[in-house]
Structure 1
Amino acid sequence: MIKKIPVSSLKTGMYLHDLNVGWMDHPFVRSQFTITTEAEIAKIVQLGVRELYIDTSRGLDVGDDAPTAAEVKAEIEAQIIKAAEEPLLIRVSAAEEMARARKVHQQAHKVVRSVMNDVRLGQAVQMDQVEEVVEAITESILRNAGALIGLSGIKDKDEYTFLHSVSVCTLLVTFARSMGMDAESVRLAGIGGLLHDTGKMKVPNEILNKPGRFTDEEFAIMKTHPEEGWKIIREIPGMHEVPLDITLHHHERVDGSGYPHKLKGDEISQFAKMAAIVDVYDAITSDRCYHKGMPAPEGLRKLWEWSKFHFDPALVQAFMRTVGIYPVGSLVKLESGRLAVVIDQNEGSLLTPKVKAIFSTKSNAYIPPLEIDLSKPMGKGGADKITGHEDPAKWKIDTGRYLGAPT
């Protein structure tokens, strides 16, 4: 049985099932193993782990008061559903915006590659290109955030470093707008998102693209990238403090377990707290050279769980409202047994998005795509209900095909 325990209850003889810090490139060779020494426990504590999961069928148990993984999941999902009540404002449909969003996404990808290449070569960052692409992203998000967010979920793992920066920019602009920030603050957040990982270009390629876990020494080198990025972009004439702050502090955690400065609580700016949430969400939902990304709804559930210690809970809740409980591009299972791709949010409720049913689990076969507005009653294209999310890889479904994205 999988149980969740505080790190203070961890003992030798227990079987570690999940460190519960999915955003972290931790230095352990394996993610699951039996705890055999006090030194291993000390290293886990040093990483900033506060709660983790053990498998009692493969190691020592803990007291009966420890909740099971299923109980934790049920409690979190109930909290999330309760939080998803306020209406949204949507200007145009995701379908209407998709073609423009695709061009913006391609433009942003090209700009990030150019910026990172300039940094590697020691050349000046072309800020006019950065400003232009942030403006294009902002305009697309103003019309419909779901289109660009949906495209941001489609990544080539070999292009992760570049596409991650595009996604963080997209999500941070969307987040800042949803928080009611003024246009200048949104622009600065976008610049910070696009440039936040610039310092990774100072990390040797053999570490940056290593298809496995880091050694302690490699992990230490990887953790220098926020300061290296800050050093690079502070040399750009007129660079504002907000992008500098985002670049330097997007790996800080509110409990002080982050880096590079181990800031706590209000020592971390709101922009940096928001960037941390966005950075982790995109990292854990993306395929990378050494791990498979989790479905977006699962990523949001983990963010909610981690917000108890590592993130600002109010900001995590606001971010979930920003992208939706079931973000555009998610694969969901309906009460009817059909699988459907979320194609747009509904202004009325985050729990009843617009979907496109594409597959029958009863007949194990694709069906003619059918758009369903889950907010509508029987007889108006609705009358079905989401029962949970699914992993597209499990069903070998390319959700991008149904968003009008490149296959």
Structure 2
Amino acid sequence: MLKRITLSELCQGMYIHEFCGSWMEHPFWKSKFLLDCDKDLQRIRDSGICELWIDTSRGLDLASGESIEQVAAATEALLLAAEAPPPVRQTSLEDEVGRAVKLCNLSKAAVVAMFNDARMGQAIDTAHVQELVESISASVLRHPNALISLARLKHSDEYTYMHSVAVCALMIALARQLGLDEAQVREAGMAGLLHDIGKMTVPLEILNKPGSLTDQEFATMRGHPEAGTAILLASRQVSALVLDVCLHHHEKLDGSGYPHRLAGEQISLLARMGAVCDVYDAITSDRPYKKGWDPAESIRKMAEWSKSHFDEAVFQAFVKSLGIYPTGSLVRLQSGRLGVVLEQHGHSLLTPRVKVFFSATSKLPIPQEIIDLAKWVGRERIIGRESASVWGFRNLDELWSGLPARSGSYFDS
């Protein structure tokens, strides 16, 4: 029987079924385990968790505590009496970046643990995956560009894990742009988080190889969609939609993708979404064998591929969700000033907020200033993309994120 108890009632010998509260509030990725050591007991006491569920059929029981039936009845009474929750309040980029750093760090740790479980042949804990998706979804709702742009800054060594977090956030933003309902948004987020789980069957020396893959290594890498699908099928806890994205996110509209060379309408909507989100994060991220492209340049290149690679309507919605000049893009203004894009305007893809900091004419730094191009129509505009590497700008991400210049990664190892 499941029973909810307070932290003070917890002792060794009890089987922990679930912690109450957010997964971000406790130090354990997996919540179901037998408590059999003082170290774990102390970690739980130090975490701030107040209540938890124990399974009395698999460990010690105690006379007090509430059964799951009692809790359900009390919860139902509260829900009947409660008003609808207030809508999520959108925040500024500056405010959300701070939250997003913490969420990225926690998400990375959770995905590392989840992928390691998969590597060891253990089942995926989808309840915690769903909670992670909900946290990412809430961040994207508060500000659609903060976490998405921040996750792009991953170091090449953490690519496999943070790529899953980034694609989850991109899928959520794209699903909302396409007008999908919230249940479908959650499915899209879950699919994004789990789409590359099959890479845990690929040897690390292939995943992290700095040079070109041999034909045999490439064939091994191309097997990850089917391997991931087998892992998720074995868990028996994910939907057919999530399985489909895992299996078919490398299919292309013209039938040249893999593993099944599907074409056009043979590819599901979520898989077509997954293809766009997967490619964008891949080409904008630093990898062991190449440096990531600028966000705006990546959008331009993907537009060139769109007729053969991507569903046109899905790709257009993707661009609307990120902008033609996504956050972090280096742009040249009509005045000759260079600036980094901060965030998008709600009604125009061509008039984002930009932080100017350099004169292309004098080739000297200028006082930093934030310009809302929506308020400068007819007086100032973006006339093109620029390359940070060509100009020698090394700390461009610091300008838009407000974070200190990094050495390695913004995310904890």
Which TM-score band applies after superposition, normalised by the shorter structure? 0.7 to 0.9
Q: Quote the residue 1:54 is aligned against.
A: none
Matched, 1:359 2:358: yes
Q: Tell whether the 8 Å contact from 2:325 to 2:349 is kept in structure 1 after alignment.
A: yes
* Cα contact 1:335–1:385 (8 A) shared by 2: yes
One-letter identity of the residue aligned with 1:366: P
Q: State how far apart, in whole Å, the 2-side matches of 1:199 and 1:287 are.
A: 21
Q: Which residue of 2 aligns with 1:175?
A: 174
Q: What is the match of residue 385 of structure 1? A: 381
Q: What secondary structure does 2:341 align onto?
A: strand
Alignment of 1:288-327 (within 5 A): 288-327=287-326
**Deviation sequence 1:48-98 (CA, Å, 0-9, x none):** xxxxxxxxxxxxxxxxxxxxxxxxxxxxxxxxxxxxxxxxxx943322322
1:226-275 alpha-carbon deviations (Å, 9 max, x no partner): 00001111122321111111101000111111111111111110000010
TM-score computed with the length of structure 2 as normaliser: 0.73
Corresponding residue pairs, total: 315
2:85 aligned residue = none
2:336 and 2:162 map into 1 onto residues whose CA distance is 34
Question: How many angstroms apart in 2 are the aligned matches of 1:254 and 1:198?
Answer: 23
Residues 254 and 311, structure 1, Cα contact 8 Å, conserved in 2: yes
Q: CA deviation at 1:151?
A: 0.7
Moved more, 235-244 or 133-142: 235-244
Structure 1: 4+ residue segments shifted above 3 A: none
Asked if the contact 2:126/2:237 (under 8 Å) is kept, the reply is: no
Q: CA deviation at 1:369?
A: 1.9
User: SS of the residue aligned with 1:307?
Assistant: helix
When Rg is computed on C-alpha atoms for both structures, the one with the higher figure is 2
> Hey, what does 2:142 align to over in structure 1?
143
* TM-score of the two chains, using structure 1 as the length reference: 0.74
Deviations 1:332-387 (A, max 9, x none): 11122222111111113110100111222233333332111011138xxx942211
| Deviation per residue, 1:187-240 (Å, 9 max, x gap) | 111111111111111011121111111111111111000000011111223211
Q: Which secondary structure does the structure 1 equivalent of 2:324 belong to?
A: coil
Could you tell me how far apart the structure 2 residues matched to 1:254 and 1:332 are? 31
- Kindly provide the CA deviation profile for residues 279-319 of structure 1, in whole angstroms up to 9, marking residues without a partner as x: 11111111111112211111111211111112111111111
Q: Using the alignment, how far apart are the partners of 2:293 and 2:215 within structure 1?
A: 26
Report the equivalent of 2:369. Answer: 370
Secondary structure at the counterpart of residue 137 of structure 2? helix
2:389 maps to a residue whose letter is: A
Alpha-carbon contact 1:95-1:343 (below 8 Å) kept:
no
Aligned to 1:337: 336
The answer for the alignment partner of 2:127 in structure 1 is 128
**Which blocks of at least 5 consecutive residues in structure 1 are unaligned?**
1-89
Distance 1:117 1:281 in 2: 25
Give 1:406 shift.
5.0
Letter in 1 for 2:342: I
Give the alignment partner of residue 404 of structure 1, picking from 402, 405, 413.
402
- Percent identity, aligned pairs only? 50
Equivalent residues of 1:104, 1:133 under 8 A apart: no
Q: Distance in 2 between matches of 1:305 and 1:274?
A: 17
Matches within 5 A, 1:19-98: 91-98=90-97
Aligned partner of 2:248 in structure 1 is: 249
Matches of 1:393 and 1:129, distance apart in 2: 40
- Aligned residue for 2:157? 158
User: Does the aligned pair in 1 maintain the 2:107–2:132 contact within 8 Å?
Assistant: yes
Asked if structure 1 preserves the Cα contact closer than 8 Å seen for 2:126 and 2:238, the reply is: no
Q: Do the aligned partners of 2:253 and 2:307 also contact (CA within 8 Å) in 1?
A: no
The answer to whether the Cα contact below 8 Å between 1:340 and 1:358 also exists between their aligned partners in 2 is: yes
Measured in 2, the distance between the counterparts of 1:153 and 1:369 equals: 24
Structure 2 SS opposite 1:363? coil
Which structure ranks higher in relative contact order (CA pairs < 8 Å, sequence separation ≥ 6)?
A: 1
Q: Output the aligned Cα RMSD.
A: 1.7
> Aligned partners of 1:183, 1:335: CA distance in 2, in Å?
41
Corresponding residue for residue 192 of structure 1 = 191
8 Å Cα contact 1:254-1:312 kept in structure 2: yes
